[in-house]
Amino acid sequence: MEEVFVNKVAESGIITLNLEDYFPKEEIVVFDLKEYLFMGLILKEKDFRAALLKTDWNIYTDKYVAVLCSTDAIIPMWAYMLVSTYLQPLAKDVVFGDEKNLINTIFIKKLSAVKAEEYLDKRVVVKGCGDIQIPETAYLEITNKLRPFAKSIMYGEPCSTVPIFKRK
Protein backbone atom coordinates (compact mmCIF):
# COMPACT_ATOMS: atom_id res chain seq x y z
CA MET A 1 0.00 0.00 0.00
CA GLU A 2 1.45 3.36 -1.08
CA GLU A 3 1.60 6.08 1.54
CA VAL A 4 0.20 9.45 0.44
CA PHE A 5 1.84 12.58 1.80
CA VAL A 6 -0.40 15.58 2.26
CA ASN A 7 1.10 19.05 2.13
CA LYS A 8 -0.85 20.63 4.96
CA VAL A 9 0.88 24.00 4.48
CA ALA A 10 -0.29 24.20 0.85
CA GLU A 11 -3.83 23.24 1.85
CA SER A 12 -4.00 25.67 4.78
CA GLY A 13 -4.88 28.70 2.67
CA ILE A 14 -2.11 30.71 4.28
CA ILE A 15 -0.87 33.65 2.20
CA THR A 16 2.83 34.46 2.49
CA LEU A 17 3.77 38.12 2.23
CA ASN A 18 7.48 38.61 1.52
CA LEU A 19 8.68 42.10 2.46
CA GLU A 20 11.82 41.57 0.37
CA ASP A 21 9.55 42.15 -2.64
CA TYR A 22 9.20 45.77 -1.48
CA PHE A 23 12.91 46.41 -0.93
CA PRO A 24 14.29 48.98 -3.39
CA LYS A 25 15.96 47.39 -6.38
CA GLU A 26 17.39 50.67 -7.63
CA GLU A 27 20.72 51.98 -6.37
CA ILE A 28 20.73 54.00 -3.16
CA VAL A 29 23.14 56.95 -2.88
CA VAL A 30 23.82 59.64 -0.32
CA PHE A 31 24.16 63.31 -1.22
CA ASP A 32 26.25 64.92 1.52
CA LEU A 33 26.14 68.71 1.79
CA LYS A 34 29.45 68.56 3.65
CA GLU A 35 31.20 68.55 0.28
CA TYR A 36 29.72 71.96 -0.51
CA LEU A 37 30.68 73.78 2.69
CA PHE A 38 33.48 76.28 3.12
CA MET A 39 36.10 74.63 5.34
CA GLY A 40 33.59 71.84 5.88
CA LEU A 41 31.58 74.01 8.28
CA ILE A 42 30.05 77.08 6.67
CA LEU A 43 27.53 77.34 3.89
CA LYS A 44 28.17 80.41 1.74
CA GLU A 45 25.09 80.94 -0.39
CA LYS A 46 26.82 82.29 -3.51
CA ASP A 47 29.49 79.56 -3.50
CA PHE A 48 26.92 76.87 -2.69
CA ARG A 49 24.67 77.87 -5.57
CA ALA A 50 27.63 78.02 -7.96
CA ALA A 51 28.84 74.58 -6.89
CA LEU A 52 25.38 73.10 -7.37
CA LEU A 53 25.25 74.51 -10.89
CA LYS A 54 28.53 72.72 -11.70
CA THR A 55 27.39 69.39 -10.26
CA ASP A 56 26.71 66.53 -12.68
CA TRP A 57 23.18 65.72 -11.53
CA ASN A 58 22.75 62.99 -14.14
CA ILE A 59 24.63 60.56 -11.89
CA TYR A 60 21.50 60.51 -9.68
CA THR A 61 19.14 59.45 -12.47
CA ASP A 62 16.75 56.65 -11.41
CA LYS A 63 18.46 56.26 -8.03
CA TYR A 64 17.11 56.69 -4.53
CA VAL A 65 18.91 59.64 -2.92
CA ALA A 66 19.32 60.38 0.77
CA VAL A 67 20.29 64.00 1.45
CA LEU A 68 22.14 64.90 4.62
CA CYS A 69 25.00 66.89 6.09
CA SER A 70 27.45 64.62 7.89
CA THR A 71 29.23 67.44 9.71
CA ASP A 72 28.02 69.40 12.69
CA ALA A 73 27.34 72.48 10.57
CA ILE A 74 24.21 74.59 10.76
CA ILE A 75 22.50 74.22 7.39
CA PRO A 76 19.63 76.53 6.47
CA MET A 77 16.46 74.74 5.40
CA TRP A 78 16.48 76.39 2.00
CA ALA A 79 19.75 74.58 1.17
CA TYR A 80 18.04 71.18 1.40
CA MET A 81 15.16 72.54 -0.65
CA LEU A 82 17.54 73.81 -3.31
CA VAL A 83 19.31 70.46 -3.57
CA SER A 84 15.94 68.77 -3.93
CA THR A 85 15.06 70.97 -6.92
CA TYR A 86 18.06 69.53 -8.77
CA LEU A 87 17.52 65.92 -7.69
CA GLN A 88 13.74 65.57 -7.92
CA PRO A 89 13.42 65.56 -11.72
CA LEU A 90 16.05 62.80 -12.07
CA ALA A 91 16.07 60.65 -8.95
CA LYS A 92 13.62 57.86 -8.23
CA ASP A 93 12.99 59.50 -4.84
CA VAL A 94 14.71 62.05 -2.59
CA VAL A 95 14.58 61.83 1.20
CA PHE A 96 16.23 63.73 4.03
CA GLY A 97 18.47 61.56 6.18
CA ASP A 98 20.86 58.67 5.83
CA GLU A 99 20.50 55.41 3.92
CA LYS A 100 18.48 53.84 6.75
CA ASN A 101 15.98 56.74 6.74
CA LEU A 102 15.69 56.41 2.99
CA ILE A 103 14.99 52.67 3.11
CA ASN A 104 12.37 53.20 5.83
CA THR A 105 10.67 55.88 3.75
CA ILE A 106 10.68 53.70 0.64
CA PHE A 107 9.09 50.84 2.56
CA ILE A 108 6.39 53.09 3.98
CA LYS A 109 5.59 54.44 0.51
CA LYS A 110 5.56 51.03 -1.15
CA LEU A 111 3.57 49.35 1.61
CA SER A 112 1.02 52.16 1.59
CA ALA A 113 0.10 50.95 -1.90
CA VAL A 114 -0.75 47.44 -0.63
CA LYS A 115 -4.47 46.83 -0.98
CA ALA A 116 -5.11 45.47 2.50
CA GLU A 117 -8.75 44.72 1.60
CA GLU A 118 -7.47 41.85 -0.53
CA TYR A 119 -6.40 40.15 2.70
CA LEU A 120 -9.90 40.30 4.21
CA ASP A 121 -10.45 37.21 6.38
CA LYS A 122 -7.18 35.67 5.14
CA ARG A 123 -4.46 34.01 7.17
CA VAL A 124 -1.24 35.92 6.41
CA VAL A 125 2.35 35.01 7.19
CA VAL A 126 4.80 37.89 6.95
CA LYS A 127 7.94 36.13 5.83
CA GLY A 128 10.99 36.41 8.05
CA CYS A 129 14.61 35.33 7.80
CA GLY A 130 15.31 36.24 4.19
CA ASP A 131 18.39 37.23 2.26
CA ILE A 132 17.87 40.97 2.79
CA GLN A 133 17.70 42.69 6.16
CA ILE A 134 14.26 44.26 6.33
CA PRO A 135 13.90 47.25 8.69
CA GLU A 136 11.57 47.12 11.67
CA THR A 137 9.58 49.94 10.10
CA ALA A 138 8.37 47.61 7.35
CA TYR A 139 7.11 44.99 9.81
CA LEU A 140 5.22 47.60 11.82
CA GLU A 141 3.78 49.19 8.69
CA ILE A 142 2.49 45.95 7.19
CA THR A 143 1.04 44.84 10.54
CA ASN A 144 -0.81 48.14 10.94
CA LYS A 145 -2.07 47.87 7.38
CA LEU A 146 -3.26 44.25 7.58
CA ARG A 147 -4.68 44.10 11.13
CA PRO A 148 -8.11 45.59 10.32
CA PHE A 149 -8.61 43.06 7.50
CA ALA A 150 -6.69 39.81 8.05
CA LYS A 151 -8.17 36.90 9.95
CA SER A 152 -4.72 36.24 11.39
CA ILE A 153 -1.19 37.59 11.03
CA MET A 154 1.85 35.44 11.66
CA TYR A 155 5.59 35.93 11.35
CA GLY A 156 8.06 33.43 9.93
CA GLU A 157 7.47 30.66 7.40
CA PRO A 158 4.17 28.82 6.78
CA CYS A 159 5.66 25.66 8.31
CA SER A 160 6.90 27.46 11.44
CA THR A 161 5.18 30.67 12.48
CA VAL A 162 4.95 33.00 15.43
CA PRO A 163 1.36 34.14 15.96
CA ILE A 164 1.03 37.92 15.96
CA PHE A 165 -2.70 38.61 15.70
CA LYS A 166 -5.89 36.57 15.48
CA ARG A 167 -9.33 38.02 15.09
CA LYS A 168 -11.77 36.49 17.55
Q: Return mean pLDDT, the chain.
A: 91
pLDDT score at 6 = 45
Look up the pTM and report it: 0.82
Report which secondary-structure segment, H or E, holds 160: strand 160-166
Q: Which residues pair with 123 in a beta bridge?
A: 14, 152
pLDDT score at 147 = 97
What is each CA distance from 167 to 40, 111, 118, 138, 146, in whole angstroms?
55, 22, 16, 22, 11
CA separation for the pair 119, 158 (Å, rounded):
16
Q: What percent of the chain has pLDDT over 70?
A: 93
pLDDT score at 46 = 96
Least confident of 6-20, 33-47, 122-136: 6-20
Write out pLDDT tens, residues 61-108.
999 999 999 999 999 999 999 999 999 999 999 999 999 999 999 999
